[in-house]
Structure 1
Amino acid sequence: MTGDGGAAAPSRRAPRAVAALRVRAVAAGAAVLTVLAGLGVRAFADGDLAKYAGDALYTVLVCALAAVIAPRARPVVWAGAALAFSWAVELLQLTGVPADLSRHSTVARLVLGSTFNAPDLFWYVVGAGFAWAVSAVAGSATTSAGCAPRTSASR
């Protein structure tokens, strides 16, 4: 015993920091792929298929961004936060505020939309469920392969 008492703490923190960095990098990559998938759907499909795929992908994107922001949270937390955000944005459209902002800003139109559509609420659930499943499977594959430390946050 050396008497420094804290020598073990940095070694325990380092793997967690590396794991969080890895989660952020993967989530950022997933966000980019999700945007590309959304653009692809819009380019090659139209009508309800494009609209509802876009709704689901919107929530997948929000889930990926939640993972970037809170990499130590569990996939169910990311998906739940993404679903809550998506529903809140959709319900905000009932006020007319997003429609007004969308007339003046392309970013507001992309983030907030403009018109409430009840079926969108279902497709947000589909997107959150998909994102949760992919995150959970990817997380369990990573921890079982020894690529990240097993912590309560990675399960």
Structure 2
Amino acid sequence: MSLAARWTRLLMVVSAAGFACAAYAIRASMDGPIEQYSGAALSAAIVYTIVIFIWPPISPLHAGSAAIAYCWFIEFAQLTPIPAALSQRSWLARQLLGAQFDLIDVAWYPVGAIPLVAAQWFLRARKRSQTNPTPAAP
């Protein structure tokens, strides 16, 4: 594994922990729609970091699409009784699966992933331009 992949993975672990801490801090200090919407957005951000951790060379667009698709899958799975039943038995299952479907969450997952897609896209483009400078015009 390359040094860049190792640094990327370390950054993703730190980022996921930061997003989780932000989500729990918001939940502890606020109540209402901000708590709910930020939780959905930060969940998608955490899933995005997990995707990058698993496969560092993935393109930002594919990582964002995978994160949003996974979040939507979990959200729509909440239309079945399985996540609610598991969530009643386990705090961890509740954190990972949720308990009930909320259509608003479906809209907020992209809000958490799209800024990360844009940031990674920008950083990769900047890195490419620094490693492949354009020749000066004559």
Alignment correspondent of 1:77: 62
> Cα offset for 1:143?
4.3
After TM superposition, the score normalised by the length of structure 2 is: 0.88
Q: Distance in 1 between matches of 2:105 and 2:35?
A: 12
Q: Which amino acid aligns with 2:27?
A: R
Secondary structure of the corresponding residue to residue 58 of structure 2: coil
Alignment correspondent of 1:30: 15
1:123 paired residue among 108, 119, 123: 108
Which blocks of at least 5 consecutive residues in structure 2 are unaligned? 133-138
Deviations along 1:18-73, whole A, 9 cap, x unmatched? 22112112111111111111112112221110111000000000000110000011
Which structure's CA Rg is the greater one? Answer: 1
Aligned length in residues: 132
Does residue 96 in structure 1 map to residue 59 in structure 2? Answer: no
Q: Which amino acid aligns with 1:35?
A: A
Which is worse superposed, 58-67 or 126-135? 126-135
Q: Distance in 2 between matches of 1:104 and 1:37?
A: 25
> Cα offset for 1:137?
2.5
Q: Could you say what the CA RMSD is over the residues aligned between the two structures, in angstroms?
A: 1.7
Q: Distance in 2 between matches of 1:23 and 1:134?
A: 14
Superposition pairs of residues 1-155 of structure 1, within 5 angstroms: 17-146=2-131
Q: Which amino acid aligns with 1:39?
A: Y
Q: Distance in 1 between matches of 2:24 and 2:124?
A: 27
Q: Distance in 2 between matches of 1:124 and 1:99?
A: 20
Q: Distance in 2 between matches of 1:122 and 1:23?
A: 28
Deviations along 1:64-90, whole A, 9 cap, x unmatched? 011000001111111111101000000
Which blocks of at least 5 consecutive residues in structure 1 are unaligned? 1-15, 150-155
Q: Distance in 1 between matches of 2:104 and 2:117?
A: 20
